[in-house]
Amino acid sequence: EPCVAALARVERTDFLSPVCIGEVAHVSAEITYTSKHSVEVQVNVLSENILTGAKKVTNKATLWYVPLSLKNVNKVVEVPPIQYARKEQEDEGRKRYEEQKLDRLETKQRNGDVIFPVINPEPHTVGYSQSSLIHLLGPSDCTLLGFVHGGVTMKLMDEVAGIVAARHCKTNIVTASVDAINFHEKIKKGSVITISGRMTFTSNKSMEIEVFVDADPFVDEPQERYRAVSAFFTYVSLSKEGKPLPVPQLL
């Protein structure tokens, strides 16, 4: 049955090395496990300096996709199984599948928090740096079926997390890692999404920021706002020379 792959989850992603302007990015992807209704894809990103030919690994990530019918996007179709070189590969993949399935369920159950504005917050408190962004989803944000691309949502979430980090430490900041991003519900074209971020923890050299996306699909079928995506981002503070700086402690 004809289908489209919908992004359901991105596992923890570590940004191992920056990609510089002028470098060429090499992206490779491989299906490493399939269940009855989902596909695990492992992605590697390398950057190449075209002047020297030097290459380095910059990112590694594992993504989970769910196939949705083109005739009815609310229907999940079955996935053709893949052939494994060794039985151990299938067993390991099944273990990863069960772990991510349980984590997604637990994350969805605790997704009820709302960020409220704080009047005259003190510096280095949660209320001082918390930030929100409101975005209307247009055609360029969405697939041919009229639902937002997962990458569009992730980019907006990273922007909000970056604003929170910059407000907290008042320095240059950079994304160090992203914990699992869970896509709980589809978001339709024409919806207004609110991306909210808040500081949840600071260590001496890093900041943990919770980010979630709420959707208001009021264009075609008015309904209540719902929690669509959630994740935790880790940022570090950098000097003008790109060296790690101490992070002000969260009060």
> What domains are defined for the chain?
1-108 (3.10.129.10), 115-250 (3.10.129.10)
Task: Provide CB contacts within 8 A for 138, sequence distance 6+.
Answer: 189
Question: Cα Rg for the chain, rounded, in angstroms?
Answer: 20
Question: Is the overall model pTM greater than 0.85, yes or no?
Answer: no
Number of Cβ within a 10 Å radius of residue 53 = 7
pLDDT of residue 108: 66
- Helix (H), strand (E) at residue 89: helix 87-109
Q: How far apart are CA 148 and CA 137, in angstroms?
A: 7
Provide the β-strand partners of residue 193. Answer: 135, 215
Q: How far apart are CA 128 and CA 213, in angstroms?
A: 20
Which single residue is written with the structure tokens 């709302």?
Answer: 114
Provide the β-strand partners of residue 202. Answer: 207
* Largest CA-CA distance found in the chain, in angstroms, rounded: 60
Provide the β-strand partners of residue 237. Answer: 173
| E strand intervals along 81-171 | 131-136
Q: How far apart are CA 13 and CA 178, in angstroms?
A: 5
Nearest to 133 by CA among 158, 160, 166: 160
Nearest to 207 by CA among 182, 169, 234: 234
* Residue 5, CA distances (Å) to 119, 150, 249 in order: 43, 11, 42
Task: Work out the angle at residue 180's Cα, subtended by the Cα atoms of residues 56 and 159, and round it to the nearest 5 degrees.
Answer: 75
Q: Which residues of the chain have pLDDT under 70?
A: 108-117, 219-222
Residue range 121-171, pLDDT digits in tens: 788 888 888 899 999 988 888 888 888 888 899 999 999 999 999 999 888
> Is residue 42 within 8 Å of residue 62, measured between CB atoms?
yes
